[in-house]
Structure 1
Amino acid sequence: MRDFEWLTGLYRHQRVETGPYKGRRPWIQYSNQFNETRFYVLHMDFLRLVRNRFLRSPSLQSNHWAIVRPTNGAFTVFLALQLCDKVDAYGFITEDHKKFSNYYFERGAKTHVVFYANHNYNQEMALWKTLHDKGIIHLYQGEGREPETTQAKAETIKRPNQAKAKTTKRPDQAKTKTTKRPDQAKTKTTKRLDQAKTKTTKRPNQAKTKNSTQL
């Protein structure tokens, strides 16, 4: 019932009137950017599917079964799998969770992870690992793994570019040399023809001068 009371205050932009959230302003939880045209409520059948098919906790058979349900993060992962081609999960619980803070936004903090009775954290931990191993999702499992992959990828991209630059440079140099030689050959050929023409023109004049003297 409290969810409906929350939604009523959210859509009316009013404080919650009754229930455990009485007096609260729901819209401030969305950084004052709430837009009712972009707000969707998940169908209850989808929530039941996730709980009963994938995360059916043994605690559902206990006396406090009414409060047992998957975490909001678990519902979000399965919603993403329905809508997205690729799902990267960051900040979800892993086997080495004791090394990190309770929440992903608590950088540098060493807060203790509390396993509340309404969620089965160990079950979700095992499920995320299984989905990751099968390639269904990519589960971020701590710092130190991603940078190595990124660096190797950068080196792979860098080497072909260097090889391409060298390959491109050699034809240009060869082209420059090839272009230069015909010009030199053309200059020499033109120069020789000019010299030959000058000599040919000069000999008839000399012959004419000698004939005139003899006469």
Structure 2
Amino acid sequence: MEVVAQTLQKCPSSIRKKIMATEFKDIFLETIPVLQWAQHAREDEYQRLRRYTGAHGWKEVSWDVLKASLSLLNTSANGFLFDTHIQGPGAPAPCIRCAVVGNGGILNGSRMGRTIDAHDYVFRVNGAITAGFEKDVGNRTSFYVFSTNTMMNSMNSYAAEGFQHPPQTPETRYVFLPDHDRDYLLLWAAVTHQRVDRGRDKGAWPQKYFGQDLLAEKFKMLHPDFVRYLRNRFLWANILATPWWALYRPSTGAVMLLAAIHTCDEVSAFGFLTPDYQAYSDHYFDRTRKRVQFFTNHDLKKEMKLWQRLQRSGLLSLYTGKEGT
């Protein structure tokens, strides 16, 4: 697991210091890799991980595509989430405080924007619309977490609401949650400044999605072992005992929040599902009220219960409405 060692001695409230006294002590693995990068582009790793499908492995990715893409992630910034704390000038912050922002309707009218932006890092996902909603959701984006599939779907679904592309700021880093070869192909195209050269997105310009400043340091990629670990230890669901087991994985928002739990010292979550979800529209940016949607490939109610358990354990501060967090 990625650990920013400099902060652990200085941050008494660190999640990693508290977790062994909670119900998660036997679930949490400190050594699990959060990110994959050039050092993982090995044939022995490929043979091991090609047994697993989707976001849990490399079965849908050829060795040539995998090697060409991962080999480009060859800076220390690609191996650590918080490259600025490791490489930047000055001493690291005593505690790394992260705000993880979902898109739930609970944030509409919340006036939490200033609180969100005051964190060291801000994570966002899917249709991460901030323009016009700054008072409720803030405007900073340190990490945009996505699969190519969820990003494309969000641009198609929320274009009318203003989501034309992911956030593009000097601060923003792009964190792939890869679930087949189109993620590795888009990564290769972005870092080499070329169009996607094959597959479903052939001909696409990465600059459309990520802007013109396409440095390798701006891209990170979650490790399949980490996603499989989250599924098996934190979010095991009944569907895994059925013929439809291969469809299931944690939602992109859940992976984002749990990645923060595994790397930040303190985590606050905003816009995630709470027990009174029926009182809110599906998204904070909805123009008309929409019911929360549930899908077969995710278990959002199980995820909701996990957020409550993490909050009760003191490992997460969860925004639950205007009355408090």
> Which shows bigger deviation, 39-48 or 126-135?
39-48
Return the alpha-carbon distance in structure 2 between the equivalents of residues 116 and 4 of structure 1.
Answer: 25
Q: Which residue of 2 aligns with 1:121?
A: 300
Q: Which residue of 2 aligns with 1:10?
A: 190
Structure with bigger RCO (C-alpha 8 Å, 6+ apart) = 2
SS of the residue 1:127 aligns to: helix
Return the alpha-carbon distance in structure 1 between the equivalents of residues 199 and 250 of structure 2.
Answer: 23
How many equivalent pairs are there? 145
Return the alpha-carbon distance in structure 2 between the equivalents of residues 91 and 32 of structure 1.
Answer: 30
Work out which of the residue numbers 21, 28, 32 in structure 1 matches 2:201. Answer: 21
User: What residue identity is the alignment partner of 1:102?
Assistant: D
User: What residue identity is the alignment partner of 1:133?
Assistant: R
Deviation, structure 1 residue 36: 1.6
Return the alpha-carbon distance in structure 1 between the equivalents of residues 324 and 201 of structure 2.
Answer: 42
Please say if residues 191 and 215 of structure 2, whose CA atoms lie closer than 8 Å, have aligned partners that are also in contact: no
Deviation, structure 1 residue 93: 0.9
Deviation, structure 1 residue 119: 0.7
Return the alpha-carbon distance in structure 1 between the equivalents of residues 247 and 204 of structure 2.
Answer: 22
Change (3 A) 1:144 1:71: same
Please say if residues 269 and 316 of structure 2, whose CA atoms lie closer than 8 Å, have aligned partners that are also in contact: yes
Change (3 A) 1:20 1:138: same
Structure 2 residue 250 is matched with structure 1 residue 70:
yes
Q: Which residue of 2 aligns with 1:49?
A: 229
Q: Which residue of 2 aligns with 1:91?
A: 271
Return the alpha-carbon distance in structure 2 between the equivalents of residues 13 and 3 of structure 1.
Answer: 15
Deviation, structure 1 residue 58: 1.6
Choose between structure 1 and 2: higher strand proportion: 2
Deviation, structure 1 residue 66: 2.1
Return the alpha-carbon distance in structure 1 between the equivalents of residues 271 and 235 of structure 2.
Answer: 19
Deviation, structure 1 residue 46: 1.2
Q: Which residue of 2 aligns with 1:39?
A: 219
Return the alpha-carbon distance in structure 1 between the equivalents of residues 307 and 201 of structure 2.
Answer: 32
Structure 2 residue 280 is matched with structure 1 residue 130:
no
Q: Map 1:133-152; keep pairs closer than 5 Å.
A: 133-145=312-324
Q: Which has the larger radius of gyration?
A: 1
SS of the residue 1:41 aligns to: strand
Choose between structure 1 and 2: higher helix proportion: 1
**Structure 2, unaligned runs of 5 or more:** 1-180
Deviation, structure 1 residue 108: 6.3
TM-score (norm 1): 0.60
